[in-house]
Amino acid sequence: MDRSSLLQLIQEQQLDPENTGFIGADTFAGLVHSHELPLDPTKLDMLVALAQSNERGQVCYQELVDLVSAMMSSKRSSSFKRAIANGQRALPRDGLLDEPGLGIYKRFVRYVAYEILPCEVDRRWYFYRHRSCPPPVFMASVTLAQIIVFLCYGARLNKWVLQTYHPEYMKSPLVYHPGHRARAWRFLTYMFMHVGLEQLGFNALLQLMIGVPLEMVHGVLRISLLYLAGVLAGSLTVSITDMRAPVVGGSGGVYALCSAHLANVVMNWAGMRCPYKLLRMVLALVCMSSEVGRAVWLRFSPPLPASGPQPSFMAHLAGAVVGVSMGLTILRSYEERLRDQCGWWVVLLAYGTFLLFAIFWNVFAYDLLGADVPPPP
């Protein structure tokens, strides 16, 4: 049965004969069950709960009409969310934190819901609709690949800290170096290389603690787009602002994820229910600031060997800008389609303009400005 057929059935049954504008929840539920309509059970339960939260046990007829299309699909539309939130009506059940008898995995899903989503309706919807397949493979795969690359170079060079000061390390085809700008893959693959154990540990920890929950809620496409956009923006920003510096580490993508999540928490502060959110916010900002400070020190302090490279810190800042701008748009609604958001197209246009400018800069500006680029290793 399609949407028009269901609307016709509602009209034929005269669910609102007195034209009051409201329909009894029990009446509508009985119609659904008697005709075996293919409606999503979770949405039907939430609609009935919405009506029962009304003093008269009724749901607005116009809201019902708006919901018909959404209830025929497996995904919730924005009209469904607006109808539930309209009039500040609360669902009659307690929050997910009071859900008894959950297994370990469902407890983790509930934890993710409270960490990422600012609205109880969203949290409950995600909790009941979540499926373990497909798993959050992107952030886990990137982190594993970074660890493997680090271990391989550590074993080969017998050097586990400040690896960039080893000449052989910078000869890797993965590192971004201004002398190898024509090798375009390096603008992305540098994310698999790290200065040393400290940087790898910091990035891996944040990718697993923040990136995996974000991927579980928002999906692999959105989070991979956000992460890779931060990585690419990081190397391109360095190529524009710090034309002598190489780049290593996935900090551009990490800071895109972190800044997007932190900005989302701040924008929805009242609705977030993650424990100790203020303390955790302060700790996250302190850790991120200290990492940037360490990168600045490595950039401007004299290197250990006289010819040692000094990786730039601008990738961190570029990733944070990408996270706040693009990330807030991506994380605004975990089910709303990006192409339906006007802000998404504005951010996408701005990012595309930046990419074009960076490409022309790398092609022409180095020669026109006579930049003193250090010889590639």
For residue 366, how many other CB atoms are within 10 A of its CB?
17
The two structure tokens encoding residue 53:
């939260």
Say which of 172, 261, 316, 325 is annotated catalytic.
316
Query: Which 3-state string (H, E, C) describes 216-262?
Result: HHHCHHHHHHHHHHHHHHHHHHHHHHCCCCCECCCHHHHHHHHHHHH
Block residue for tokens 């034309």:
243
Query: Which 3-state string (H, E, C) describes 175-230?
Result: CECHHHCCCCCHHHHHHHCCCCHHHHHHHHHHHHHHHHHHHHHHCHHHHHHHHHHH
CA–CA distance, 304 with 159 (Å, rounded to integer): 14
**Can you give the C-alpha Rg of the chain in angstroms?**
26
Say which of 251, 259, 312, 325 is annotated catalytic.
251
CA–CA distance, 130 with 60 (Å, rounded to integer): 29
**24 burial via Cβ count (<10 Å: 0-12, 13-18, 19+):** middle
Axis crossing angle, helix 104-116 with helix 120-129, rounded to the nearest 10: 150
Q: Taking Cα atoms as reference points, which of 149, 143, 167, 124 lies closest to residue 250?
A: 143
**316 included as an active-site residue:** yes
The two structure tokens encoding residue 134:
């497909």
CA–CA distance, 214 with 112 (Å, rounded to integer): 8
**235 included as an active-site residue:** no
The H or E element containing residue 59 is: strand 58-60
Catalytic residues: 251, 316
